[in-house]
A and B are shown apart, each in its own frame.
Chain A
Amino acid sequence: MKITLKVWRQKNANSPGWFKTYQSPALNENMSFLEMLDVVNEELANRGEEPIAFDHDCREGICGTCSCVINGKPHGPHKGIATCQTYMRSFRDGDTIVVEPFRAKAFPIIKDLVVDRKAFDRIQHAGGFISVRTGSAPDANAIPVPKENADLAMDAAQCIGCGACVAACKNASAMLFVAAKVSHLGLLPQGQPERYKRVKAMVTQMDEEGFGACTVTGSCEAVCPKEISLDFIARMNRDYGVSLLKGEPKKIAGGGAA
């Protein structure tokens, strides 16, 4: 099979970008989408043209590095998988495929299809953890967790941090990403002591990074490669509301060391 590629090329965040059209060499339908880009890039390089920059690493749908909006949809045509697990058999011979970077104010373009998603890390720095110093943990079976809760926490914890939810959202909201982390930790008994402090800190940082507001259209869930449920956003909103009602934690007089 052969395809026509319309790819976004942009030297860096400060330069303008544009679509450039390439004809692919002969392809095999069992190639992954990224292998198709490899083949196109090798041909470009052999002609002395600079290869298309794209993010990728594990190529098995778990590291969250690959991105790309393919024909208008983050991670391409299929539900529940990442770009790296999209195979050329999903397209037809002679198709034109449009490839763009994830677009969001909080994800500045680095080059071509590569964007900077460090804003996600900074949200995690603000509170995406349970504080447990190495060596201070009790025996693992000392904290039983109902299987239903553990399973639900795992559903949320599967998030690969790719940012497709942001790219799909008309407001470039990061709510699904933040809700996944908040829910994962908030559903577990280990996560209770910092539950409300955590959600407040993470939501505050999310807003500071310039992500938009959530209007519950559900486009995030529709493109999420791990099919993370919109329900987690409701869960986070409730926890966030409670955290506002609780206000700042009370300082206890004489609580600290003298």
Chain B
Amino acid sequence: MTTLNSNIPSGPLSQKWESYKFNTKLINPANKRKYKIIVVGAGLAGASASATLAELGYEVHNFVFHDSPRRAHSVAAQGGINAAKNYQNDGDSVRRLFYDTIKGGDFRAREANVHRLAEVSVNIIDQCAAQGVPFAREYGGLLDNRSFGGAQVSRTFYARGQTGQQLLLGAYSALNKMIGQGAVKSYTHSEMLDLVVVDGHAKGIIVRNLQTGDITKHNADAVVLATGGYGNVYNLSTYARGSNVTASWRAYKRGACFGNPCYTQIHPTCIPVSGDYQSKLTLMSESLRNDGRVWTPKKKEDCKKNPADIPEADRDYYLERMYSAFGNLAPRDIASRAAKTVCDEGRGIGETGLGVYLDFSDAIKRLGENKVRERYGNLFAMYHEITNEDAYKTPMRIYPAVHYTMGGLWVDYNLMSNVPGLFVLGEANFSDHGANRLGASALMQGLSDGYFVLPATISGYLATQKPDKRPNIDNPAFKQAEENVQTLTKKLLGNKGKRTPASFHKELGKLMWDYCGMARNKAGLEKGIKLISELREEYWKNVNVLGEAGEWNQQLENAGRVADFIELGELMCRDALHREESCGGHFREEYQYTPDDPETKQGLVNPGDVKRRDDAFAYVAGWEYAGAPDKAPVLNKEPLIYEEVHMSTRSYK
């Protein structure tokens, strides 16, 4: 058992971060250069942290498996980034952004972290604008905003449909400057394969150079993981193909607890699956719901008709009908589940019947095609390339797809895991989004963690470590971890089975989608656990990896990642099974509102909406590795104590 102490500072919520920063220990400028920090990953969180830590004077070593730090999957975020600037004068504030995010997460996030996120959000926009991020502007030269789900104010800043790309290039440029100055040493094509723990503290990593296959040891005073989410456990998702859980998973196996692994975001507006060969699903930005209206035919027999032939009266704009206050901008988990519900009723459209329409005809009538093109042109073009359909003329077909993981390695208020010296940022940690993330909040969290939070909190840990005293790479812990990696590589290459790693990944993805997807239940999850553990056993008997260790070998890279995904999948099912409530993206069929519940009668919720059980499950589940993949992991709990917010029924009606 591990005690998960959140280390939330005392004092009123709105003053915690200020007083924390005053009270935390600092490192004097002359000593900063004596500390070496490893940062793994260079997405928004990793690049911004690396650049900022180097500006402060620390010696920073940054590792990415990509050929360049600019490729991290933050680059693909389309819609925007939230900030409580209130430039629209529509009633926004730090308090409102904080509350929307806590409520959006279905009261399963940590209150103090979320408030800090909302406070810092305004600094992020300033920082990015100063770096030259070409945000959308109004004719007066000031910044433009748009609306995103789960909010009734316009607080989302954007750069056409490529906000993630532009913010990442901003962070990458800050990183480049420090690399150019020699303040950051950048290792590309370098994949972290193990965490080195010395006397209970994270003090280094083991890395494989993907070009040469060389395995090297790297020591540091602290290790920062900013390695992204694990949605590719489902095989088909909106993630990049290379996104993986390996860095986080190897840290988990070295003792870091995994927080709320079952909290997965299924995004409502993606292009539907078209065939078995498919490698990836493509998101259509949530920003489209500013102007697009979601509907399906009221009658089953209309589903195969041309949408233009279905009269207005026979269309069901179900989000507007069910959630009138937020309409098409209902939060993602709610919009996804509603799409599933109408499709389960037999009212889905398209060849597979797993799809709904996202219709722009009203917006085109109101604004003209040119205005719609200006706002969403690149998304319409992308849709056309993939489907060969023109969304200016006929509605888009969309369906939910795996998009983000709210769960991740457990961290305290300092963003430090339960392994001292190991910090986790961005999507890789669990902390700020509870059981559902609102749109335009991931970019905010990644940059908040990297630019502002970690650089302030890491000094508190480093102050407890003597400068220039980090363990040498000849330390036995380094040797042991290196051997661990070598053994695994040999095992994969020497196995000589009959199946490719990709075939296992596909099978795992299907199991996860069927048993731990948008709707979950006890029997399904138990079955999922059994089938996935059998798949794990088969993997080690039957996987076949070609090529050699000492060269560029994409199958070998993938084989290690798939092995980790299989183990993770089992843990996600266990977490989903134990959490006998519904919350946010975690929908247990056994726990939903019925027409007889008082909340339904009061009109707060619809029958079928998720039903939390705050009396029993208002905690973070931090799973601890038990030493072997077939041993049941240990459940540790961090109670969620809300000092200022009341855990109320989440209503978007």
Contact = CB atoms under 8 A, between A and B. Distances in A.
Interface of A: 11-12, 27-28, 30-32, 34-35, 38-39, 42, 45-46, 48-51, 53, 55-65, 78, 80-81, 85, 87, 89, 110-111, 114, 116-118, 120-121, 124-141, 143-147, 150-151, 153-154, 157-158, 160-161, 184-185, 188, 190-191
Contacts of B141: 144-147, 150
B134 A89 contact: no
Interface centre among B134, B180, B242, B544 (most CB of A within 10 A): B134
B386 interface: yes
Contact of B70 (A89, A144, A161): A161
Interface stretch (B162-170, B483-491, B644-652): B162-170
Contacts of A39: 277
A150 B132 contact: no
Interface in B70-88: 70-71, 73, 75-76, 85, 87
A26 B334 CA distance: 39
Contact of A137 (B70, B129, B241, B382): B129
Given A48-B546, A51-B554, A65-B71, A134 B279 contact: no
B131 A129 contact: yes
B452 interface: yes
A137 B130 CA distance: 6
B87 A141 contact: yes
Contacts of A116: 67, 211
B174 interface: yes
Nearest to B188: A118
Nearest to B238: A60
B66 A65 contact: yes
A64 B125 CA distance: 25
Interface in B449-495: 451-452, 455
B129 to A, nearest CB: 4
A130 B129 contact: no
B143 interface: yes
Given A140-B125, A141-B142, A57 B188 contact: no
A75 to B, nearest CB: 12
5 contacts: A56-B241, A121-B186, A139-B126, A140-B125, A150-B135
Nearest to B182: A125
A128 B385 CA distance: 32
Interface string B581-606: 00000000000000000000000000
B131 A132 contact: yes
Contacts of B71: 57-58, 63-65
A83 to B, nearest CB: 12
B134 A63 contact: no
Contacts of A141: 85, 87, 142-143
A118 B131 contact: no
Nearest to B502: A42
Nearest to B545: A45
A85 B452 contact: no
B552 A110 contact: yes
Interface in B96-116: none
A63 B64 CA distance: 14
B243 to A, nearest CB: 8
Nearest to A31: B277
Contact of B173 (A55, A128, A134, A140): A128
B360 to A, nearest CB: 20
Contacts of A56: 241
B57 to A, nearest CB: 12
B127 interface: yes
Given A125-B180, A134-B451, A140-B143, A89 B500 contact: no
Contacts of A126: 180
A58 B279 contact: no
A32 B279 contact: yes
Interface string B130-172: 1110111111111100000000000000011010111001001
A17 B162 CA distance: 38
B370 interface: no
Contacts of A31: 275, 277
B179 A134 contact: no
